[in-house]
Amino acid sequence: MKSLGVVVNPIAGMGGRVGLKGTDGKLEEARELGAEPRAPDRAREALAALYRREPELTVYTAAGVLGEDAVRAAGYEPVVVYDPAEHDEMSRANAAHPDDPGDAETTAADTRAAVRAVLEHDVDLVCFVGGDGTAVDVASVLEETDTPMLGVPAGVKIYSSVFAVTPADAGRIIAEFDRVTSREVNDIDEAAYRDGEVRTELKAVVSVPVAPDVQSGKQVASGSVDALAAGVAREIDPDRTYVFGPGGTVGAIEAELGIDASPLGVDVWRDGEVLAKDASEREILEVLEAPATIVVSPIGGQGFIFGRGNHQLSPDVIKRADEIEVVASGAKLDGIDALRVDTDDAAVDEELRGWRQVRTGRFTTRLVKVV
């Protein structure tokens, strides 16, 4: 590969830890709640991994936080081919050059314009940093071309199968891939998602590098989890604080305990009392008392237990818990080759890796490796 296009959505994922389940239409609220950008750091991590393998690559990108800053920080000398300030000088002169990446005033239109600009230079692949919404914007430009795309996961929701498992994986895949395959770009209705309902929609089919570390699309597991829920509920310790992650499997446990759960949020519970419902990272930390157990279920088809759809369960929350219980039906585990973590903290990720017992029923468990 001789040239690469890079586009970063600097605000992707900012709604995660503050409990907003996404940033679409919620950016100002996320900022008011103290959200911090994560996409720029993940972009730098991916590009640094690429630079170690392909330091002579020509990288075309957009100005400032839209790509230029991350490309330069990774070691490359970027070729800037798009700057939003040049298109709306009066109202958006600092759009891509804020003092803080979280203050960026870029839009989906900027993402699409940046992709069109790098395509004019016949790049071999477009690497984007964001979530499913960003993937939709990139795919809307690429779908009618032969140029493949690869995502660096930075958004709250990652349902599409066009993302590398981690930023470092993205850098390696870009350097080494030699074939592409067709993959789906999906998005969900964020308003419905915040109300606990998942509505997915196929938005595009695009070319993506063939590699083992490109994640699968999210699948919904089948089969009853009633026995599993009853088993966990039977062993609840009244002196322990429980942090229940999102999803239907964990929700079944909460229902068994009589908790009015937030289906796609995080709830904190202790001895019959809900201490925090649909909580942000800050709200979890405020009520979390030792001893504490985090209960999570992997995403079907992907295997993530931390880092996808549950950013509220941050490294600080994980460090405060002395126990993590992973629960999943046998049917869900049958579709997963391994469990995965992507917390934004390399030390925490490493601590979580290794073999882990997954609760699959009232009395049954299965040993699954966290990679």
Q: What is the pLDDT of residues 225-282, one digit of tens each?
A: 888 998 899 999 999 999 999 988 999 999 999 999 887 899 999 999 999 999 999 9
Contact between 123 and 97 under an 8 Å Cβ cutoff? The reply is: no
- The region of weakest confidence among 1-10, 12-21, 135-144, 243-252 is 12-21
Amino acid at site 281: E
Domain ranges of the chain: 3-209, 226-370
Binned at pLDDT 50, 70 and 90, residue 161 comes out as confident
Structure tokens at 184: 């789906």
Binned at pLDDT 50, 70 and 90, residue 86 comes out as confident
Q: Residue 252 to residues 161, 244, 296: CA-CA distances in angstroms?
A: 27, 11, 12
Average pLDDT for 48-70: 96
Contact between 107 and 86 under an 8 Å Cβ cutoff? The reply is: no
Q: Using CB atoms within 10 Å of the CB of residue 282, give its burial: 0 to 12 exposed, 13 to 18 middle, 19+ buried.
A: middle
Please state which CATH number belongs to domain 3-209: 3.40.50.10330
Return the bridge partners of 208, or none: 181
Average pLDDT for 105-128: 93
Q: Is the pLDDT of residue 93 over 50?
A: no
Q: Pseudo-torsion of CA 225, 234, 322, 290, nearest 10°? A: 130
Query: What local confidence, expressed as pLDDT, does residue 90 receive?
Result: 41
Query: What local confidence, expressed as pLDDT, does residue 115 receive?
Result: 97
Q: Please, which residues have CB within 8 angstroms of residue 125's CB and are 6 or more apart in sequence?
A: 1, 4, 5, 147, 148, 149, 150, 174, 209
CA quadruple 34, 39, 42, 44: dihedral sign: negative
Buried b (16+ CB within 10 A) or exposed e, 284-301: bbebbeeebbbbbbbbbb
Q: Is the pLDDT of residue 65 over 60?
A: yes
Q: Is the pLDDT of residue 217 over 60?
A: yes
Q: Residue 348 to residues 10, 72, 306, 318: CA-CA distances in angstroms?
A: 24, 27, 11, 8
Q: Is the pLDDT of residue 18 over 50?
A: no
Share of the chain above pLDDT 70, in %: 83
Q: Please, which residues have CB within 8 angstroms of residue 13's CB and are 6 or more apart in sequence?
A: 23, 37, 38, 39, 130, 131, 154, 155, 156, 311
Q: Is the pLDDT of residue 30 over 50?
A: no
Query: What local confidence, expressed as pLDDT, does residue 102 receive?
Result: 47
> When comparing pLDDT for 326 and 15, which is higher?
326
Query: What local confidence, expressed as pLDDT, does residue 91 receive?
Result: 43
Amino acid at site 354: G
Q: Using CB atoms within 10 Å of the CB of residue 251, give its burial: 0 to 12 exposed, 13 to 18 middle, 19+ buried.
A: buried
Q: Helix, strand or coil for residue 368?
A: strand
Amino acid at site 94: N
Q: Is the pLDDT of residue 33 over 80?
A: no
> When comparing pLDDT for 161 and 276, which is higher?
276
278-336 tens-digit pLDDT: 999 999 999 999 999 999 999 877 899 999 989 999 999 999 999 999 999 888 888 88
Q: What is the mean pLDDT of the chain?
A: 86
Query: What local confidence, expressed as pLDDT, does residue 107 receive?
Result: 85
Query: What local confidence, expressed as pLDDT, does residue 253 receive?
Result: 95
Q: Using CB atoms within 10 Å of the CB of residue 4, give its burial: 0 to 12 exposed, 13 to 18 middle, 19+ buried.
A: buried
Amino acid at site 133: G
- Residue 297 CA to residue 303 CA, distance in Å, equals 9
Q: What is the pTM of this model?
A: 0.68
Q: Is the pLDDT of residue 214 over 60?
A: yes
